[in-house]
Amino acid sequence: MSTTMIETKTALDGAVNPDVREAPLSSAQITDYDHRQTVGRITADNPKMACREVNVYYSEKHALRQVSLDIGANEVIAFIGPSGCGKSTFLRCLNRMNDTIVSCRITGHIQLDQDNIYDKSIDVVQLRARVGMVFQKPNPFPKSIYENVAYGPRIHGMINGKAELDELVYASLERAGLTKEVEKRMDEPGTSLSGGQQQRLCIARAIAVNPEVILMDEPCSALDPIATAKIEELIDELRENYTIVIVTHSMQQAARVSQRTAYFHLGDLIEVGETDQIFTNPRHKLTEDYITGRFG
């Protein structure tokens, strides 16, 4: 819900310097392939999450270099870039899903509202309840549709009694635009749905715990265009209440659903900006090459 808009800006000022990358680059630097300093404004007016100088290493491999980026409240921000550029890695830092990878090491500072999410006092369980995630491949639990949505509220002890749970489950399905399709088959396994329906079920499952941020890792890459259109429509509606970070391979999708876009290249955050600006007038040479289809 949007009631959690806290004055993060002031809190952040103490912790990290938001203007760290604000210095304008020269046009020569911007057209230089070897220059990997982020172009564009990395800060947001009303930041929900703030990341500063995040580095990720897989064993010896330096997978993400010095990424600093704000994610504004109630905005949809898209991460684009060629495969292996670190956009999914960065996304997974935001709810500490990388913790499950043994060889993975993360440095830097990521803040959700005022909390440093890598602080010892923050439990991942609490963090992941606040930052939900939707994965590339629809992965409903092999349980009934009802149980899929009820699972989160149940483990977090968010509800008292069956009636309240029913209400929450139906409300979540309604918001995911799935009610009409599954109303009569709540007891059937979630895996019996079509791919697009499964993905919307996963979104319903994620919003059932009422997270502040929803991370989406290429949510439409396994879906057909019609199912994709439905999910995109849904993302647009969800923006009212949630902050959404979406990783996508489809530039059209990024252009359609997001307000801001961040372009990653080989572990560097190359350019951030308003989506319109990125797609119509990219400033960095690498961004331009990617957008115009010269790679990827």
Q: Which residues bind other proteins (CB under 8 A)?
A: 95, 97, 100, 102, 124-129, 132-133, 135, 137, 139-142, 151-152, 155-156, 191, 202, 205-206, 209
Residue number, 55 or 192, with CB nearest to other proteins: 192
Q: Which is nearer to other proteins, 133 or 247 (CB)?
A: 133
CB of 21 to other proteins, least distance (A): 30
User: Shortest distance, CB of residue 2 to other proteins, whole angstroms?
Assistant: 21
Contact 145, 193 (CB under 8 A): yes
Q: Decide whether 210 or 261 has the Cβ nearer to other proteins.
A: 210
Token pair belonging to 111 = 């803040």
Q: Quick count: other Cβ atoms within 10 Å of Cβ 125?
A: 9
Please, which residue, 153 or 267, has the CB nearer to other proteins? 153
End-to-end CA distance of the chain: 37
Q: Report the 10 Å Cβ neighbour count for 236.
A: 14
Q: Which two tokens stand for residue 280?
A: 């119509």
Cβ nearer to other proteins, comparing 158 with 186: 158
Least Cβ distance, residue 203 to other proteins (angstroms): 12
Residue 295 class from Cβ within 10 Å (0-12 exposed, 13-18 middle, 19+ buried)? exposed
Q: Supply the minimum distance, in Å, between the C-beta of residue 242 and other proteins.
A: 15
* 146: alpha, beta or left? (left if phi > 0; alpha if psi -120 to 50): alpha
Q: CB-based burial of residue 155 (10 Å sphere; 0-12 exposed, 13-18 middle, 19+ buried)?
A: exposed
Q: Shortest Cβ distance from residue 61 to other proteins (Å)?
A: 18
